Copies of this chain bind each other. A is one copy, B any other.
Amino acid sequence: MINYQLLTQCPIFMGITENEVEDLFKKIHFQIKSFSKDEIVVVAGEPVLNLNIVLSGSVRGEMIDYSGKIIKIEDIEAPKPLATAFLFGKENKFPVTVTANNDVKILTMPVSEFLKLLQLSSQILKNYLNSISSRAQFLSQKLHFLSFKTIRGKVAHYLLQQAGEKFHSVELKNTQQQLADLFGVTRPSLARVFGEMQKEGLISINNKTVTLLDKKALNELINNA
């Protein structure tokens, strides 16, 4: 039996009631597969032909490098789906090998059945589209940041973008650590740059509020980066 209550907590079924999920699942074909601890669920490179959702237990995604060493990438726990970003597209192969951390039950349905779900429920469709779109947008933003060579450039760009044209101050929503990750730098290096820019009179920092004192100079930082 499936715990539909649990499934409603899965990102794909967000905003759908337990009963609706149950109704939808009556209309499509799916299977429940069981795996025991350390059993391999899928191998990296295999084409993604099914949508897999972890119903109980947890699995880990691992990459095998060229020398055969195994590197753990992430844990996926119930009720999360696997590799949703690879169900479609040109390179729809599992990027990682997935192994069971413990006794695991996985709901699996062919992509064709998932397509039916998407057409039956506009909520599921919206959830899925939002999910992969957000992912693409996140990646795109991240790429853009990496194109600035210096940390100063990245910071200047970020602040100007957040502030927009009208405003002269930005309320930081993320911790320095999160920003540092976004920029691909270390946290102390980021803090140092913030400090330097403050000393030079480009910005002024008060708690989580950053005031842009010299937008022109900040621009020039971008153009030189």
Asked if A88 is at the interface (CB within 8 A of a chain B CB), the reply is: yes
The contact of A71 among B119, B139, B142, B223, by CB within 8 Å, is B223
| Contact between B119 and A115, CB atoms less than 8 A apart | no
Nearest CB to that of A119 among chain B residues?
A: B119
Say yes or no: A122-B125 contact (C-beta < 8 A), given A91-B137, A91-B141, A219-B69. no
Cβ contacts under 8 Å, A118 to chain B = 118-119, 125
Q: How large is the interface on A (under 10, 10 to 19, 20 to 34, 35 or more residues)?
A: 35 or more
- Taken together, the copies of this chain in the complex come to 2
Contact (Cβ within 8 A) A134 B216: no
A-side residues, CB < 8 A to B, are 45, 65-67, 69, 71, 85-92, 95, 115, 118-119, 122, 125-126, 129-130, 132-137, 139-143, 146-147, 149, 160, 164-165, 184, 215-216, 218-220, 222-223
